[in-house]
Structure 1
Amino acid sequence: MTSKYIPADRLTAWLDELAASNRVLVPVRDNAAVAFQPYTGGDQELVLDTQATTPPKGSVFPASEPLMTFEYRKDEENPGKVDVAVQPTMEAAPTVVFGCRPCDARGFTIFDRVYNTDGMRDHYYAARRKNTSFVSLVCKETASSCFCHWVGEGPADTRGSDVLATPVGQGYVLEPITEQGKALVESKTLDNATQEQLDATAQVKQDARDSLGDAVDVSEAQEALLRLFDDMEFWQDVSAKCISCGACTYLCPTCYCFNITDESCGNQGFRIRSWDNCMSYLFTLEGSGHNPRPTKAHRLKNRVGHKFSYYPGLHEGLIACCGCGRCIKSCPVSVDIREIVLRAMETATAETKAS
């Protein structure tokens, strides 16, 4: 597929073109945060030089969405009989997400194995996934909280992206990755990339990868976390400063848990799906009052174990973390998942040697 080049001053024209037939989401300033919001035109100031505070997870898996409407209707001939009329509510408008990071787009490959397989398909998720394209921006610089290379990725990872955009000179080189991406860059607004621009693209990617340093081998984490499953002294120690606020889960591109509630007024109502937070006490609270994860230590064990042990165990070793670092950067008490994983491997190794 032919790579394209777009000068920065033509970016608005291209986005206008895309917005004519798509819902376009772009990173913009939202008070102190940077979030993905609908593109409204050239007067909108895009934030492309830093990672967005929130990932574009909601583009495919909304934070809250109505799954269906329902209405109780009495039988006119038999007033004692009540029927329920149910109507699915599915919205899956063609969407382009522009300016996310490669790690953000790859997060959906974690979702896909849960919500979009031959054996199990969430039709709401699958419809949006099919109709959403991602133009991911290669990281020109990385942050101290980034660790995508630990989990087998990099600042220019293509998995999950449809187009990879690399900052070069006063513009961007656009590399189509999928057929959807190829269709996005078939525009007269774009020029064919020159060999010089392609060479510069390769250098930007290499410099970004080099800035991360050597990757830490976390291949032993899966077994180490299982070994420490019942070691509550370890989990109480690493969770001591956690305040169970759940920021890590809400900002995570790969967290996919949800809750379902019914909200009604009179005879009509909605069934709503909303993101849920495994760090909350209510997450596993049973109707009997029993909670199998009664402390934050139990809940943090589940969160870290799911990403680095349970999910990989079910999905051919694939780690359910994209290394974006948001849970590290935005944690109000500086809980660092990297430190927990490293300590788990070190502790498990020490216990093995001692036994």
Structure 2
Amino acid sequence: MNSKYIPADKLTAWLDGLAADNRVLVPVVENGSIVFRPREAGSDTPLELEKQATVPPKNAVFPASEPLLTFSYQKHEDEPEKVDVSVQPTINAQPTVVFGCRPCDARGFTIFDNVYGADIYYESRREKTAFISQVCKETANTCFCHWTGEGPADSRGSDVLAVPVDAGYVLEPVTEKGEGLLTSSLLADASKEQQDAAAQMKKDAREQLGEAVDVSEARGALLALFDNMEFWEDVSAKCISCGACTYLCPTCYCFNITDETCGSQGHRVRSWDNCMSYLFTLEGSGHNPRPTKAHRLKNRVGHKFSYYPGLHDGLIACCGCGRCIKSCPVSVDIREIVQRAIETAAAETKAS
């Protein structure tokens, strides 16, 4: 696969070309936040490529709310006690290109893939969506992707890596799907720029991250502390169960399903749900197996660093993007919780 080069002043023209056959999602500033929105050809809305998006592009493949099917009831005229039910699935997957996300955002979908691989709604969007991820030039103090086995230039989940160089981007295809996006005449051969790109990928952002904390013991430590509610009440004391961490997480995939009807017609809707909410596990009987925020935070952290890795060959269900830390209104830090869990479990083991 051959790398290509795009000068910065031709970037929007190239994206407009991609928009002729695809829905192209790009990061823009909206109401003070950086979000991914469809780009219209010729738009003068500036792209925000210097900072990490406030909201990951999860919605591109796993919409915040989507109709799964429509249904209708039809009574028999001669036998009104009999009713026919008509059900129609609603799969609306369109070719999509996500440009300007970070490698951690694209990697988030590798976590989804293990869970939703047989879901026809997810699968249809996943197959038709390509990710052009921008290699990070800088990191925030909330970033910890190197803890979870990746880095600012990780290619997993991406179809193209866009590496910033002085006057533009080197576009390195990762998959055949990505290579198919690099056919425009606006793109030049990147032979001259590849050396700069390689240097960029080896320094700057990765050096800023420093040494990674070893979280290999987290899986066992979190299981060992499962019944230690004193620990979980302590680390969750300032949490307000707002759910910002889950809605802004590239790897959170929980949902709720509701049927919405109007007369004899209706539709079934799947929407993101929030495991930090009391209602998330409230049963019809009135019993709630996770009655306190301590129970719910235990589940959230345990799922990412223990339960999911236990089911999927050690793969941590966290990409280290740091959004849950950056956007938490009370500064709950998942890194601190994991480190404390490892230290506390080790101390308890030693004491016994």
TM-score, normalization by structure 1: 0.98
Offset from partner CA, 1:35-79 (integer Å, 9 cap, x none): 001101331211000000000000000000000011011112311
Structure 2 equivalent of residue 10 of structure 1: 10
Q: Could you tell me how far apart the structure 2 residues matched to 1:239 and 1:5 are?
A: 48
Structure 2 equivalent of residue 320 of structure 1: 317
Offset from partner CA, 1:156-196 (integer Å, 9 cap, x none): 0000000000110121000000000000011111001023x
Q: Could you tell me how far apart the structure 1 residues matched to 2:322 and 2:201 are?
A: 19
Q: Could you tell me how far apart the structure 2 residues matched to 1:11 and 1:204 are?
A: 19
Structure 2 equivalent of residue 28 of structure 1: 28
Please say if 1:125 is aligned against 2:126. Answer: no
Please say if 1:330 is aligned against 2:331. Answer: no
The DSSP-based 3-state class of the residue aligned with 1:184 is coil
What is the identity, as a one-letter code, of the residue corresponding to 2:11?
L
Q: Could you tell me how far apart the structure 2 residues matched to 1:335 and 1:201 are?
A: 36
Selected match of 1:205 from 191, 201, 208: 201
Q: Could you tell me how far apart the structure 1 residues matched to 2:328 and 2:116 are?
A: 28
The DSSP-based 3-state class of the residue aligned with 2:85 is strand
Please say if 1:140 is aligned against 2:137. Answer: yes
Count of residue correspondences = 350
Deviation for aligned residue 1:221: 0.1
Structure 1 equivalent of residue 215 of structure 2: 218
The DSSP-based 3-state class of the residue aligned with 1:69 is strand
Question: Could you tell which deviates more after superposition, 337-346 or 73-82?
Answer: 73-82
TM-score, normalization by structure 2: 0.99
Q: Could you tell me how far apart the structure 1 residues matched to 2:32 and 2:233 are?
A: 33
Selected match of 2:147 from 143, 147, 150: 150
Deviation for aligned residue 1:236: 0.1
Q: Give 1:46-85 correspondences, 5 Å limit.
A: 46-85=47-86
The DSSP-based 3-state class of the residue aligned with 2:59 is helix
Q: Could you tell me how far apart the structure 1 residues matched to 2:156 and 2:183 are?
A: 21
Unpaired runs of 5+ residues, structure 2, are none
What is the identity, as a one-letter code, of the residue corresponding to 2:171?
L
What is the identity, as a one-letter code, of the residue corresponding to 1:60?
V
Q: Give 1:151-300 correspondences, 5 Å limit.
A: 151-195=148-192, 197-207=193-203, 208-300=205-297
Deviation for aligned residue 1:13: 1.1
Alignment RMSD (CA, Å) = 0.6
Deviation for aligned residue 1:324: 0.3
Question: Could you tell which deviates more after superposition, 225-234 or 202-211?
Answer: 202-211
Unpaired runs of 5+ residues, structure 1, are none
Please say if 1:109 is aligned against 2:110. Answer: yes
Q: Could you tell me how far apart the structure 1 residues matched to 2:306 and 2:96 are?
A: 33
